[in-house]
Structure 1
Amino acid sequence: MTDQREVAIVRWPGRRPSVEAGPAALLASYHLRTEAEKGAAVADVSGLPDRYRAEVLDPRTAFADAVVLVALSGDTAVGCLVVTAPVGGRSEIKRLWTDPAFRSKGIASGLVGAALALSAENGVRTVRLSVWKWRADAIALYERLGFAVAESWDERDQLVCMERAV
């Protein structure tokens, strides 16, 4: 018998007070890991660049015009993804993160699938995203989900831009 719980994907904020802090913790992990991968490791959230620290400290305000999706295992937030509001028929996926203890369970694929479905419901024609080139597993996931490398819309070095039709 396994101890695996089913994972549910919900919009945040939602009706479960027990997961209110979930996105902040996941975003903190995401940003701290990213800064370390970029060679700019910081000890805690207080050392993050202002823009990223604001997302962690107040995700409700930081993503007021976006939809935050959270993957829950029971009442524990184990993954998150932000999808921006449509502009000109296009949305962007940002901040996809799965708790390392819950990886390889289809959570990231489920979050992206939910974001694509939400985008389709909102009349979006194209969804795009950017990913650091050293995140080969993430790039492979996006390619499996139909994303292809696109011309860059971001000037940051080592960033791969991808998109797909909805």
Structure 2
Amino acid sequence: MSAAQAGGRDALEALLRRHYDRIHALCRRLTGHDEDALDATQEALLAIVRGLDRFDGRAAFSTWSYRVATNTCLDQLRRRRRRPEPAPRDTATDDPAVPSFDQLLSDRLAIDEVLATLAPEFRAAVVLRDVLGLDYATIGEVLDIPPGTVRSRIARGRAALADQLGNLNPSVDVPTDRP
């Protein structure tokens, strides 16, 4: 990190390469679209490079870079009009207990589509927790909000997802007609 801050090109490239996949995954889920995610990832990496001298080490580099990437995505969402996602295909499987690849893909597209409808503050909290697996304190640092607000946004975001998605794969659910 210090070598990258001192201007070491190889160190900077290694640092960005090490964090690229997780930053791209964050951008993909926040923007909800592959092309937008690539744009946001590039913008985030540029912002990280430009702001490297301001990184003071109070937080982990990953936390700081997630904050930069999240802010970049939220800015992009405010600037751009969202394009509709393709509707997921409805496919049948031979064994209803084992979802097919098409069903898994369809479920993922449905989740991405619903994520795109969430308010950006709820989407960011849910993606940081459920996709990247960050803890509440780290999410609070990334979003610059208190842990209680993090919990609230995650709960509200998950509730909205559940309301809109319903049950993606009802064939594997336990029947609800219990006495």
TM-score w.r.t. length of structure 2 = 0.32
Q: Identify the structure with the greater strand proportion.
A: 1
TM-score w.r.t. length of structure 1 = 0.33
> Larger radius of gyration, structure 1 or 2?
2
Q: Identify the structure with the greater helix proportion.
A: 2
